[in-house]
Chain A
Amino acid sequence: MNTNQSSGGAAGPMSTFMPMNIDAHPLEFTGSGGEYFRVWIVNVLLSIVTLGIYTPWARRRTAQYFYSHTLVAGSPLEFTAQQRKMVMGFVLLMLLTIAYNLAANTGQDTAVGLFLLAGAALAPFIWASAMRFRLGATRWRGLRLQFTASWKEVYIASWPVFALALVWFGVFYGLQLLSPDLAQALEAIEEEGKKQPMPRFTPAMGGLVLLGLVLSVLCVIRTEYNFKSLLVLKAQVGAERGRWKPVYMDFVKVWMATVAVFILCVVGFSALIGILAGSSIALVASQSDRLGLWMFVVIIVSIIAGIFMLILASAPARAYREARMFQLMWNNIGVSHVARFKCHLKSGRYVWLRIKNMLLTLLTLGLYRPFARVSEYRMKCESVTLHVKGGVEQVTGAMVRQQQGGLGDALADAAGLDLIG
Chain B
Amino acid sequence: MSASAHPALVPGRWFDGQSSKARPVVVSLRPTPQGPSLVLHPLSQPGAEPVVFAWKQVGWPEAWNERKPQPRVVVDLRDHGSVEIDAVAEWRAALAAAGERPGIAQRMQTRWPVLLGVTAAAVIGLTLFYRYGTPWAATQLTRFVPISWETSVAENVLQQMDNGTLKPSKLPSARQDQLKARFDALVQQTPPGLQRYSGYRPPLSLEFRSGMGANAFALPGGKIVMTDGIVKAAADKGLDDNALVGVLAHEVGHVVQRHTTRMVVQQGVLNMGLGLALGDVSGIVSTGASLLTGLAYSRSHEREADCYAIAVMRHAALPTAPMGQLLLAIARDEDNEETQKKDLGKGPTAAASAPSSGASTPDAARQRKVAQEIGSHPVWSLLSSHPDTVERATELERGQAPHCAKN
Taking a contact as CB atoms under 8 Å apart, the answer to whether B125 and A49 are in contact is yes
Any B CB within 8 A of the CB of A302: no
**Complex interface: stretch among B8-16, B47-55, B210-218:** B8-16
A419 at the interface (CB under 8 A from B): no
Q: Complex Cα distance A263/B378, Å?
A: 45
A292 and B121 in contact, given A78-B76, A394-B20 (Cβ under 8 angstroms): no
Bound form: Cα–Cα A398–B19 in Å: 8
Residues from chain A with Cβ under 8 Å of B344 in the complex? 295-296, 299
Q: Residue-by-residue, is B11-36 near A (CB-CB < 8 Å gives 1, otherwise 0)? A: 11111111111101110000000000
Q: Which of B19, B72, B282 meets A238, CB within 8 Å?
A: B19
Q: Which of B231-239, B273-281, B351-359, B393-401 faces chain A?
A: B273-281
8 Å CB interface, A189-221 against B: 193
CB pair A52–B272 under 8 Å, yes or no, is: yes
From 120 to 161 in chain B, residues with beta carbon under 8 angstroms from any chain A beta carbon are 121-122, 125-126, 129, 149, 152-153, 156
B65 touches which one: A35, A362, A367, A399 (CB < 8 A)?
Answer: A35
B82 near A43 with CB under 8 A, answer: no
A25 CB to closest chain B CB (Å) equals 13
**A39 and B109 in contact (CB under 8 A), knowing A44-B281, A45-B118?**
yes
- Residues on the A chain within 8 Å of B24, using CB: 3-4
A31 to B69, CA, bound (A): 10
Chain A residues with Cβ below 8 Å from B72 are 9, 71, 74-76
Nearest CB on A from B236, distance (A): 25
Q: Which chain A residues lie closer than 8 Å to B280 at the CB level?
A: 40, 43-44, 47, 58, 366, 369
Contact of B102 with A by CB under 8 A: no
Which of A49, A106, A293 has the most C-beta atoms of chain B within 10 angstroms of its own C-beta?
Answer: A49
CB–CB B105/A61 < 8 A? yes
Q: Is B97 part of the contact surface with A, judged by Cβ < 8 Å?
A: no
Residues in chain B near residue A64, CB distance under 8 A: 61-62
Does A52 contact B149, Cβ atoms closer than 8 Å? Answer: no
A170 at the interface (CB under 8 A from B): no
Chain B residues whose CB sits within 8 angstroms of the CB of A142 once the complex forms: 14-20, 81-82
Interchain CB contact under 8 A, A399 and B70: no
A49 and B70 contact, Cβ closer than 8 Å, known pairs A61-B105, A143-B19, A366-B281: no
Q: Fill in one digit per residue for A278-304: 1 if any B CB lies within 8 Å of its CB, else 0.
A: 000000000000011101100100000
Pick from B18, B125, B373: contact of A396, CB below 8 A: B18
Instruction: Name the CB-closest residue of A to B126.
Output: A48
The reply on B108 being an interface residue by CB < 8 A is yes
Known: A38-B109, A80-B76. 18 other contacts (CB 8 A): A1-B86, A6-B22, A7-B13, A42-B105, A42-B109, A47-B276, A51-B129, A52-B277, A75-B84, A142-B14, A142-B20, A291-B342, A292-B342, A366-B284, A369-B280, A369-B282, A396-B21, A402-B79
A-B contact pairs, 24 of them (CB 8 A): A3-B11, A3-B26, A41-B115, A48-B122, A48-B125, A51-B273, A51-B276, A57-B105, A69-B70, A74-B72, A76-B72, A97-B272, A107-B156, A142-B14, A143-B19, A292-B338, A296-B366, A366-B281, A366-B285, A393-B22, A395-B20, A396-B21, A397-B18, A399-B79
